[in-house]
Chains A and B, each alone.
Chain A
C-alpha cells in the first residue's frame, strides 16, 4: 500500500514569506503528526491531528499552524518565515490509538530552506 506522501520535497523561501506543506497519510490512518528536525534541536513535535481535530500541540510559536481535512490529508503552514525555520519537516500517520502505542509511519519529509 502507498506510504505517507509529503509535498513538496524541497523548497526555498526568503525571510518573511509563508509556506504550506502537505501530507497524505496511509489509507485508513486517521491521525497525522508533524515533526521538525534540525541539527541543533533534533526531532521536535509540532502537532497532531485526528479526525480534523488538533489533539496536541508542541512548544512552537503561533506562526506554526496546521489543519486536517475530512479525507485525513493534512497541511501545515508557517508564516513570517525566519532563518531558524530552515529544517526537515516530517509528517507521520498512524491509527491514532489513545494508549500511546501508536506506530508512526513517516514520510520522506519536506526540506525547507529559508534565505
Chain B
C-alpha cells in the first residue's frame, strides 16, 4: 500500500518569509512518481511538479524549490520570499503500482498555507 503524510495541517507566515512544506511517503515500489499540486480557494488543483523515483536532483523554479531525498522518503517543497498569492492548500501525491494502479494518485491531507501581508 502507499501512503503520503503531510504533517503540517496549517502554516501561517508573513509575506517575504521562506516556508517549507513537508511531505513524507511510503511505498513498496522501486519505480514511482511524486507530485505537488496547489489548490487555491477556487478549488481547482494546479500541477506544480512531478519527480520520478530515479531522479533525486533538486529542482528550482523561480521562488519554488523541491528537495527529494529517497533515504528519508521525503519530497519537501520550499517557497522563498512568500507572497500573498501563494496562499492555498498544497498537496503532495504519489503514484505507483503498489497503490493499486499506476492510474491513480494517493494524496496527502494537504497543508493550508496562509501568507499574511
Contacts and interface: CB of A to CB of B under 8 A. Distances in A.
B31 A100 contact: yes
Nearest to A50: B103
Given A42-B107, A105-B47, A55 B91 contact: no
A45 B50 CA distance: 19
B104 A48 contact: yes
Contacts of A66: none
Given A55-B101, A56-B101, A100-B102, A43 B91 contact: yes
Contacts of A102: 95, 102-103
Given A42-B107, A42-B109, A103-B50, A98 B44 contact: no
A115 to B, nearest CB: 21
B102 A98 contact: yes
A31 B50 contact: no
Contact of A56 (B50, B103, B109): B103
A108 B32 CA distance: 27
B52 interface: yes
A104 B47 CA distance: 7
Nearest to A105: B47
A108 B44 contact: yes
Interface in B48-62: 50, 52
Nearest to B109: A42
A101 B101 contact: no
6 contacts: A35-B107, A43-B91, A48-B103, A55-B103, A100-B33, A107-B44
Interface of B: 31-33, 35, 37, 42-47, 50, 52, 91, 95-97, 100-110
Closest 10 CB pairs of A and B: A100-B102, A56-B101, A43-B107, A106-B45, A100-B95, A45-B104, A108-B44, A48-B103, A109-B43, A42-B109
